[in-house]
Structure 1
């Protein structure tokens, strides 16, 4: 009879470079640091209502091809310059994908997209991509899924999401309390707000928990709390929640919890029934609410890439369509430009009143 009691289902334990090692291979640059810090400062000023602009988190559902991703980033940077008077543009750079059951877990977990799971390669290439984006002068946003990953690339992130599946997780609330970025908590997949509101409240408090230091050693992480948690409405339970009634209920929930009434509307997911062609309509509706005097909506999220729609991952990766998502479907680049420019036109008329308010 075996007396072995641990690692019964583990088939391997491979070496992973420490955060310090990965950072040494892909060091921060002065230009990249300035992009990250200026991106964070603008987001904080918007959430503090010192800046009347709207922020927009926009980009691919997930990054799978760094070449196409940088192509997108360069185009986005040009449009961001055009609309900077009214919109603070942050590129969505998602490397980790939560899965209901199975599927591709994202670029960091499986950068070769063949179930080989070269995480050490994915982490280094992911950090390099983020640095390249930052050196363009474009701030980046991501979803914090793995609690260790921020040690590897959190210094290159300006905004972080806690997803609908993890907003209730104590591990993710603790992690959010120590992140250096504003953090958006998404409402649950059933549409309820309670987990997200409680997540914002929890993350605003100090925490102590197990983690890794830069050398890769186990450490007790002690945080002071994150003052810039906010609510992200993404719909759920078979219905959207960006309408005026839903926004009002969200405002009441935040006020009842004595939290800042700061709301971001995700134009994708259940708010558009996962139909990318509906995202422009959601954005237009939310901007109309701003025109009607709404003061709680601080930002928007859009899933966008070079080509519209999505594609399955083929066995022969040479058959992948360039610039098309391999996870959720996105709007194409022409639609992206139209959405940002149309919103910019409306906001130019609204900003004087928002500044005065």
Structure 2
């Protein structure tokens, strides 16, 4: 038995404010004050949320079309893509409701880049920042930001700034819910939220979705089965007590109202597409008294991660819709250029990125380029008329 002087000290289990390994994050309130949504942008977000609810409920016959990169890594490129996508949205506004996919966190099964929020890339590797990266930083804080890996505080700032800028352009945004603690930083900017295949069984994410003010889509699990997504819909629909942080960054227990319209996203699985499950899933959702709206992810398991296959998945989804199934929307992975590039980021928290990225290429899943995306949107619009 240890003596009195040798008793175990549990303090090492808790982060200490003076510990250099502990970094204080800005609070949601601080970032909302630093990067504010205008009244016009906030009204646009509220209107787009209602439009999405109307589409999912079948009151609006347009097709919800969520288009954009697998994950955002370069804010300047994302803004350029958003301006282009807005033009496409205007062209097809009579039959498509286009939302920009702006995923700022990356869900991982193992190691890898964790997205803009958790691992913002240094300017020295971003193609859009070539001129700025060639010059030394002008202040010590900028130097610290460039040299420090996995800087969530800086990532939150960059992500919040980007989302606000896109929202000010009037573009509805889709964001993925990855961390149950970070959604208060961006929820006011989102018009639609995804819970991915790796997070769909998480009780914390299901509870968080029940507190969100916009419709949330739950992807089926990576094995292609839909039971976990269906159960997630049932959980998110109900009011719940949710552990979260308030505007001051204090951990609180929130009584949620339930998600306004949770639904399932068919994204395929390890063995290929799972569109064959659309009919039995819709029937089971109806039996369970749950929203029967379905979205089809044209990428991921459905496409075998081959961007050129997305068009075929889209055609199959449109055929299911013609047959009377409640396919209310699509997810399409698209970026400035077709394809992808590898990102060598090393182990989390240990190394910075030394490579210079190519302009306009995804750093995660391969995407369709602008030309292919425009052609596919034209085809979808023509099929709906």
DSSP-derived class of the 2:115 partner? coil
Q: How many residues align?
A: 345
- Residue in 1 aligned with 2:72? 63
Displacement of 1:112: 2.4
| TM-score calculated relative to the size of structure 2 | 0.86
DSSP-derived class of the 2:280 partner? helix
Displacement of 1:13: 1.7
Q: Deviations over 1:130-171 (max 9, x none)?
A: 111111111000110111211111100000001111111110
Cα distance in 1 for partners of 2:7, 2:367 equals 52
Cα distance in 2 for partners of 1:247, 1:18 equals 41
1:104 counterpart = 2:151: no
- Residue in 2 aligned with 1:299? 329
Q: Deviations over 1:24-53 (max 9, x none)?
A: 110111232122112101101111211011
Would you say the 8 A contact 1:31–1:134 is kept in 2? no
Displacement of 1:189: 0.6
Cα distance in 2 for partners of 1:139, 1:152 equals 17
- Residue in 2 aligned with 1:287? 318
1:134 counterpart = 2:167: yes
Would you say the 8 A contact 1:309–1:325 is kept in 2? yes
- Residue in 2 aligned with 1:189? 222
Would you say the 8 A contact 1:197–1:257 is kept in 2? no
Cα distance in 1 for partners of 2:159, 2:12 equals 29
Would you say the 8 A contact 2:282–2:325 is kept in 1? no
| TM-score calculated relative to the size of structure 1 | 0.93
- Residue in 1 aligned with 2:265? 232
Greater gyration radius: 2
- CA 1:328/1:214 → structure 2, altered by over 3 Å: closer, same or farther? same
Report the more deviating stretch, 109-118 or 206-215.
109-118
Cα distance in 1 for partners of 2:335, 2:283 equals 35
Would you say the 8 A contact 1:314–1:320 is kept in 2? no
1:241 counterpart = 2:274: yes
- CA 1:140/1:175 → structure 2, altered by over 3 Å: closer, same or farther? same
1:333 counterpart = 2:377: no
Root-mean-square deviation (CA), in Å? 1.7
Would you say the 8 A contact 2:214–2:260 is kept in 1? no
Cα distance in 2 for partners of 1:284, 1:2 equals 67
Report the more deviating stretch, 11-20 or 190-199.
11-20
Displacement of 1:254: 1.2
List structure 1 runs of 4+ shifted beyond 4 angstroms.
Answer: 8-11, 314-318
- Residue in 1 aligned with 2:57? 48
DSSP-derived class of the 2:368 partner? coil
Displacement of 1:295: 3.7
Unaligned runs of 5+ in 1: 349-357
Cα distance in 1 for partners of 2:198, 2:288 equals 21
Cα distance in 1 for partners of 2:377, 2:354 equals 32
Displacement of 1:219: 1.2
Displacement of 1:317: 5.5
Displacement of 1:277: 0.8
Aligned ranges 1:153-232 → 2 under 5 Å: 153-232=186-265
Displacement of 1:4: 2.2
1:73 counterpart = 2:78: no
Aligned ranges 1:111-122 → 2 under 5 Å: 111-112=120-121, 116-122=149-155
Report the more deviating stretch, 39-48 or 77-86.
39-48
Displacement of 1:252: 2.2
Would you say the 8 A contact 2:310–2:332 is kept in 1? yes
